[in-house]
Structure 1
């Protein structure tokens, strides 16, 4: 079996049915081989940032590693932002990057470069294949490593001449990668600490959703009678948004997290990568003296940024079930806590809903009203792919997504991810409506992804929140009271003039579009996503920084 044949056969055996890429000369052996491999669809993107974003969305929705093909040093560099997002969001990707022909690498040919060096900081592992007989085993290792907790992207640099060799290579068998087992000790002590707490709290990290352990966390929280917060800028649904115990998302600042946790005497932190602050505030996220039980699949997370009383490493679902079992009959106050916490949360949600609906009106819309209109219009079973920065925070406050996988975000923060991720999400799960909520600045970073949406007739709605500015930067400057806030002038933060013409942008890529003239029209346009048979861009004009002060 030739190396290129081995690559395709291993891909099939690992469950790959689509390869995401943008080809160049170093990928010609792969592209030629795919002519005789109709079972492996090549999904074309116009730029590597969109390619990796599509693979990211696809891997999350399909719950298995996605295969990506990138072209030489320039292609790897363009794809780095997607790799950084995948690394932070722990998305399993296997990236095969074409290297220049080895027979003249010593001459420093055009397109060549240190692919491994470029990718090293943005991947779990980056290696170059030097011998044809090493390719099969290194590719097997890449798939296993990408999926093993903590999951993430793995890159292999493969010289193009290596794929064309006539050398016969051996195909190694696939070794199943099992999930971590439940911890053998510590569960009873951890449960005793939680049972004895008077004011317990739970922080649900994205590891819960990735592990498919949402139901188990719900049962534990109910057994304990504890409010549940999502980790800062959570990437998915790790606890049902409509549950009475759900308290919302922790803000990504140490001071804000600390202010919440100070009201409690014990915390259960599950599947959470530290607290990942965004804006700096002095002091730690965890108050002194807080008794913490931390549960994670990755042993390196236990006590990483704060001291814990009990750290449990193992399969999240199994560990949570074990804790719940230990708590049986030991928390008689749980029912009363649930009633009290649920009533407080219901009042807060009603106030948020009332404020948002009161702001409904014609375009340009109030950002809170626009966010509410999207949430109100979502079809049943819809997946929200969110990359909207300021409006995204308002959307989180009104979304009530309960189904795991129905909300997708990237904590990586590399802009331009949302359009491609929505395309990949829809390709992996075409029976669910997909609604991407995008800031206009974010969308411009990944606009090429609309072409792939049109080419593959992806039935997704792309809602562009158009305020013509980088509002989050202006808001941050205002909070600091600097010269920009004092003079009302902001350098390099306005996208008009000239104004971005989103209807023309959609037409350029062959995508239908509409402009929502009011919050009601936006709600109705989003509701229509369930009937789409191809992509639709919905422009939602919203008020900007000065009007929204």
Structure 2
């Protein structure tokens, strides 16, 4: 009996790993694999016009399904285009397996077109990168890649496969899946509880490891037991804290001096799966002098990486927070002070949250719309259960204040990683992961242009995603950071026709002329059952509610 072709065995392994979609942009060096995928359409092939879109869509799909997603790119050019998405996934700890077709080994020595050091190119953007050299290694290396991608920390893993190996007979059976190892509860719970309970004004910075692992309930229990102000981490990517909870404050801007200002007056801080990475250097460090820090993370390399830490907790985030909440509830004398602090905090935070949203709504007017009004009116009009993807560097913080975020998986962002263009593809991937839920992509015009070709993939799939582009005709974040005196930041001459651009890729599109149109446009788009784009011209200055 003839053995299976290696490419078919790889497809069987993918199915065994739970892969039901392959995201990619095809090329000659992947043809044996593409032929097998086309044989029966399982896994389904999600076609992107450029590799960054494919990686971004896979990123969104992995976030939505909770399992590694698979991406196929093409040789040196494909890996080069995919690098931004791979680096985003590495910083976000999104589990991906990315493969690229390498040139045929039989003439690699001649430096053929498309051939090159794919591993060297991909390695800095991945947890691990390797090239298959023999048919015997092909299946074991793919199995190992999936295990590493879903490990701790999770993230993208790259495998380069020479084209000739895919066309050879498979060598040996598909290896068994290795067991998934889970982390235990961290040690040092009692010491951490004692330190936090001894503070007069404790705070919690809720990080993306809380949101990514679905540990909101446990985080809330710690906050309530302690009577602590909760700050979502700057430029957060997930729902790390219930934004409507009376103890939740707005996330600080991701600038060291602003983080310091927010935490000033707190004498103890729990960094709960949080990573503080500032955007700009400032003389003031992010953490105020003298604050006592407990840090919890499921990656030991994060603990004490950038800040002095008195107690480090390495373990599973949710179970460790659960144990910490139980330890706090068991401390004598804490309940009364915690209740008093919680009352004082909520009396300040809840009315200010309401006032901010009221001021934002009151700022509505003709286009260009005040950016806070645009964010608030979009948030007000969204259908229940909408999954929100946000990639609007300057308007995004306004949406995060306007938008109730209460459940794991309700909100996603990646712009804190710096690789813009992620949002459109990620929204498509999240739709595929949650076909029964509406999806919104809230995008700045500058960010959206980095990944605009993803609109075509949305149209091809008929994905009912609403793309809202808030258009200020500029790289606003640069003007905020560096001042107006620098050139090259304006996008209004010639102006990009977002409605025409979207229609050219197969979407329905509408441009808002007055803030009063925003709610009806959002509702109509979400009720349409297809992909739509709504452009909202916004003011270039005056960010923040008036």
Match of 2:183 among 156, 177, 180: 180
In the TM superposition, what are the counterparts of 1:309-388 in structure 2 within 5 Å? 309-330=310-331, 331-332=334-335, 333-388=337-392
Conserved 8 A contact 2:370-2:542? no
CA separation in 1, counterparts of 2:171 and 2:188? 51
CA separation in 1, counterparts of 2:519 and 2:478? 28
Conserved 8 A contact 1:54-1:420? yes
What secondary structure sits across from 1:229 in the alignment?
Answer: strand
CA separation in 1, counterparts of 2:211 and 2:155? 15
Q: How many residues align?
A: 538
1:28 matches 2:24:
no
In the TM superposition, what are the counterparts of 1:286-301 in structure 2 within 5 Å? 286-301=287-302
Gaps of 5+ in 2: none
The one-character-per-residue Cα deviations of 1:333-363 (angstroms, maximum 9, x if unpaired) are 1222222111101121122112211210121
Conserved 8 A contact 2:9-2:170? no
2:206 maps to what in 1? 204
- Report deviation, 1:24: 0.4
- Report deviation, 1:426: 0.4
In the TM superposition, what are the counterparts of 1:463-482 in structure 2 within 5 Å? 463-478=468-483
CA separation in 2, counterparts of 1:476 and 1:309? 33
Task: Specify whether residues 167 and 453 from structure 1 end up closer, same or farther in structure 2 by C-alpha distance, changes over 3 A only.
Answer: closer
1:509 maps to what in 2? 505
- Report deviation, 1:316: 0.9
The one-character-per-residue Cα deviations of 1:219-258 (angstroms, maximum 9, x if unpaired) are 1111111110011100010111111111111221122222
What secondary structure sits across from 1:247 in the alignment?
Answer: coil
CA separation in 1, counterparts of 2:80 and 2:322? 43
- Report deviation, 1:370: 0.5
Conserved 8 A contact 1:474-1:545? no
2:157 maps to what in 1? 154
Match of 2:197 among 165, 171, 195: 195
2:452 maps to what in 1? 447
What secondary structure sits across from 1:240 in the alignment?
Answer: coil
In the TM superposition, what are the counterparts of 1:414-453 in structure 2 within 5 Å? 414-453=419-458
- Report deviation, 1:49: 1.0
CA separation in 2, counterparts of 1:181 and 1:5? 38
What secondary structure sits across from 1:243 in the alignment?
Answer: coil
The one-character-per-residue Cα deviations of 1:409-436 (angstroms, maximum 9, x if unpaired) are 0021211111101000101101111010
Per mean C-alpha deviation after superposition, the further-off stretch among 514-523 and 117-126 is 514-523
Conserved 8 A contact 1:86-1:153? yes
What is the alpha-carbon root mean square deviation over aligned residues? 1.5
CA separation in 1, counterparts of 2:491 and 2:289? 45
Q: TM-score, normalization: structure 1?
A: 0.95
- Report deviation, 1:172: 0.6
2:239 maps to what in 1? 237
CA separation in 2, counterparts of 1:167 and 1:400? 51
CA separation in 1, counterparts of 2:514 and 2:162? 54
CA separation in 2, counterparts of 1:264 and 1:535? 46
1:9 matches 2:12:
yes
2:249 maps to what in 1? 247
CA separation in 2, counterparts of 1:283 and 1:336? 31
What secondary structure sits across from 2:462 in the alignment?
Answer: coil
CA separation in 2, counterparts of 1:418 and 1:523? 22
Q: TM-score, normalization: structure 2?
A: 0.96
Conserved 8 A contact 1:433-1:529? no
What secondary structure sits across from 1:36 in the alignment?
Answer: helix
1:481 maps to what in 2? none
- Report deviation, 1:544: 2.1
What secondary structure sits across from 1:292 in the alignment?
Answer: strand
1:94 maps to what in 2? 97
- Report deviation, 1:289: 2.2
- Report deviation, 1:167: 4.4
Gaps of 5+ in 1: 479-483
- Report deviation, 1:166: 2.0
CA separation in 2, counterparts of 1:220 and 1:524? 40
What secondary structure sits across from 1:390 in the alignment?
Answer: coil
2:529 maps to what in 1? 533
Conserved 8 A contact 2:212-2:408? no
- Report deviation, 1:499: 1.0
Match of 1:462 among 462, 467, 479: 467
Per mean C-alpha deviation after superposition, the further-off stretch among 214-223 and 328-337 is 328-337
CA separation in 1, counterparts of 2:370 and 2:253? 22
CA separation in 1, counterparts of 2:226 and 2:170? 61
Match of 1:405 among 409, 424, 427: 409
Match of 1:389 among 365, 390, 393: 393
- Report deviation, 1:442: 1.0
Conserved 8 A contact 2:372-2:543? no
- Report deviation, 1:547: 10
What secondary structure sits across from 2:404 in the alignment?
Answer: coil
Conserved 8 A contact 1:475-1:545? no
Task: Specify whether residues 546 and 292 from structure 1 end up closer, same or farther in structure 2 by C-alpha distance, changes over 3 A only.
Answer: closer
CA separation in 2, counterparts of 1:451 and 1:242? 36
Conserved 8 A contact 2:152-2:299? yes
CA separation in 1, counterparts of 2:40 and 2:14? 11
1:518 maps to what in 2? 514
Structure 1's consecutive aligned runs of 4 or more residues displaced over 6 angstroms after TM superposition are 546-549
Task: Specify whether residues 437 and 547 from structure 1 end up closer, same or farther in structure 2 by C-alpha distance, changes over 3 A only.
Answer: closer
CA separation in 2, counterparts of 1:205 and 1:418? 20
